[in-house]
Structure 1
């Protein structure tokens, strides 16, 4: 009997060395997904001026798939669009403020603008901002993110 063919050996090698096998090896490099630590850090990220895609998650099988999609999309759109993952059981106050009942869900925060203080002034040191928030309801893939950004006019690369 003859041993395994070259193709079988190559596929077995790929499956044993790759983190997950998707039909071809993808080297995404280091993770570009930012893990939520505090609202202050989130606000600082918004002030950089780039759109921020936020995935509000809980543990589950679907979340594992979402993590892979976020990693791939974050690598594709880096550094023009930031991707952040919030584990809602760890930060319930931030997630409950979004008033959603089904997890996981994705929202895109972009174009922070300073708002004129209307009415009474509580503290002169506080600056108020308005941020556009768009719910993501497209295909959950890097392609879906690309189409969503195109439809809403969100810049994904440097203008040439």
Structure 2
């Protein structure tokens, strides 16, 4: 009789443990032990330069990952998915598969893949006193250092460092 009570207790403990882990997965923002439910993908796949220009003209910062196939790219894809879900809709994330679109990638004159460029339009207050062509939009394009922390947190810190608006103003 005591054996069956002990088995019942272990079953209830196991369900308590499962409930606790489930609660932890759903509430802890930075818990990395299990995959997060990010919903539908927010990463935009590059299809043409025209589509890229349209995306830039929306006015949001655009993080572009130039990739080739490899193990590191698989990790980068997961990082991009998580960061895109976190910063949506204030920052757009795009992935360019360089073997499919070599012309677009070659113009960047980079030999090390993957690399990330961040396109953003700095506040145009500096240009208000000058006569400038209103049809020309200037973008700042920093390249993320290869040894930078590639995570949603790393992107957030980089955006702060560069003064890129990555969330809605409060």
Q: Which band: TM-score by shorter chain? A: 0.7 to 0.9
2:133 matched to which residue of 1? 116
Which of 129, 144, 152 is the aligned partner of 1:136?
A: 144
Q: CA deviation at 1:23?
A: 1.1
Measure the CA separation in 1 of the matches of 2:14 and 2:33.
Answer: 17
2:81 matched to which residue of 1? 71
Q: Name the one with the larger strand percent.
A: 1
Q: Name the one with the larger helix percent.
A: 2
- With over 3 angstroms needed to count, the CA separation of the structure-2 counterparts of 1:25 and 1:140, relative to structure 1, is closer
DSSP 3-state at the match of 2:73: helix
Listed as ranges, the gaps of 5+ residues in structure 2 are 1-6, 23-31
Measure the CA separation in 2 of the matches of 1:155 and 1:144.
Answer: 15
Q: CA deviation at 1:30?
A: 0.3
Alignment RMSD, CA only? Answer: 2.8
**Could you say which structure has the larger radius of gyration?**
2
Measure the CA separation in 2 of the matches of 1:63 and 1:145.
Answer: 17
- After superposition, give the CA deviation of every residue in 1:56-85 in whole Å (9 maximum; x if it has no partner): 000000000000000000000000000000
For normalisation by structure 2, the TM-score amounts to 0.74
Which of 127, 150, 153 is the aligned partner of 2:160?
A: 150
Which of 26, 33, 46 is the aligned partner of 1:36?
A: 46
2:112 matched to which residue of 1? 102
Q: CA deviation at 1:25?
A: 4.3
For normalisation by structure 1, the TM-score amounts to 0.78
Measure the CA separation in 2 of the matches of 1:74 and 1:52.
Answer: 10
Q: CA deviation at 1:156?
A: 1.1
Listed as ranges, the gaps of 5+ residues in structure 1 are 15-21, 118-126
* Aligned residue runs from structure 1 range 35-54, under 5 A: 35-54=45-64
